[in-house]
Structure 1
Amino acid sequence: MEINYKDIKVIGFDADDTLWVNETYFREAEDEIGRLLSQYETPNKIDQELFKKEISNLPLYGYGIKAFTLSMVEIALELSNYNVSNKTIEAILNIGKNMLNKPVELLDGVEDVLKTLSKKYKLILATKGDLLDQERKLEKSGLTNYFHHIEVLSDKQEDNYAKLLKRLDVDASEFLMIGNSLKSDVLPLVNLKAKAIHVPFHTTWAHEQVTEKETNGKAYKTINSLKDLLKLID
Structure 2
Amino acid sequence: MIEMVGFDGDDTLWRSQEYYDDAQAAFEAILGRYVDLAAEGLRTALLDTERGNIALFGYGAKGMALSMIESAIELTDGRIEARDIHRIVRLAKDVLGHPVQLLPGIREAVEAVAATHRVVLITKGDLFHQEAKVAQCGLAGIFHRIEIVSEKDPATYTRLLQEFGLSPDRFAMVGNSLKSDIAPVVALGGCGVYMPYHSTWEHERLAGFAMGERVVEVAGAEAIPAAIVALHAA
The alpha-carbon deviation at position 216 of structure 1 amounts to 6.2
Q: Per-residue CA shift, 1:173-200, capped at 9, x if unaligned?
A: 1111000001111111111011111000
Q: Deviations over 1:75-104 (max 9, x none)?
A: 111111112111001100000001000001
Aligned partner of 1:121 among 108, 117, 124: 117
Counting only pairs closer than 5 Å after superposition, residues 136-151 of structure 1 correspond to structure 2 as 136-151=132-147
The yes-or-no answer on 1:232 pairing with 2:232 is no
* Equivalent residue in structure 1 for 2:27, among 26, 33, 44: 33
Report deviation, 1:140: 1.1
For residues 100 and 83 of structure 1, what CA distance do their matches in structure 2 show? Answer: 27
Counterpart for residue 203 of structure 1: 199
Report if the CA contact (8 A) 2:34-2:80 is conserved: no
Give runs of aligned pairs for residues 76-225 of structure 1, distance below 5 A: 76-212=72-208, 214-215=209-210, 217=212, 219-225=214-220
TM-score normalised by L of structure 1: 0.93
**Residues 142 and 65 from structure 1, CA distance in 2 versus in 1: closer, same or farther, beyond 3 angstroms?**
same
Per-residue displacement from partner, 1:138-178 (whole Å, max 9, x unpaired)? 11111110111011111111111000100111111111100
Q: Which amino acid counterpart does residue 51 of structure 1 have in structure 2?
A: L
Which consecutive unaligned segments of at least 5 residues does structure 1 have? 1-6
Q: Percent identity?
A: 34
Q: Name the structure 2 match of 1:24.
A: 18
Superimposed CA distance per residue, residues 41-78 of structure 1 (whole angstroms, 9 cap, x where no aligned partner)? 23442222111110010111111111111111111111
Give the whole-Å Cα distance in 2 for the aligned partners of 1:94 and 1:62.
19
* 2:232 alignment partner in structure 1: none
CA distance in 2, matches of 1:9, 1:43: 50
TM-score (normalised: structure 2): 0.93
Greater mean deviation of Cα atoms: 214-223 or 200-209: 214-223
For the 8 Å contact 1:187–1:215, the answer to whether it is kept is: no
Runs of 4+ in structure 1 over 4 Å off: none
Q: Bigger CA drift: 217-226 or 55-64?
A: 217-226
What is the Cα deviation at residue 8 of structure 1? 1.0
Tell me the distance in 1 between the aligned counterparts of 2:63 and 2:80. Answer: 20
CA RMSD for the aligned pairs?
Answer: 1.3
Name the SS for the 1:104 alignment partner.
coil
Cα distance in 2 for partners of 1:223, 1:58 equals: 30
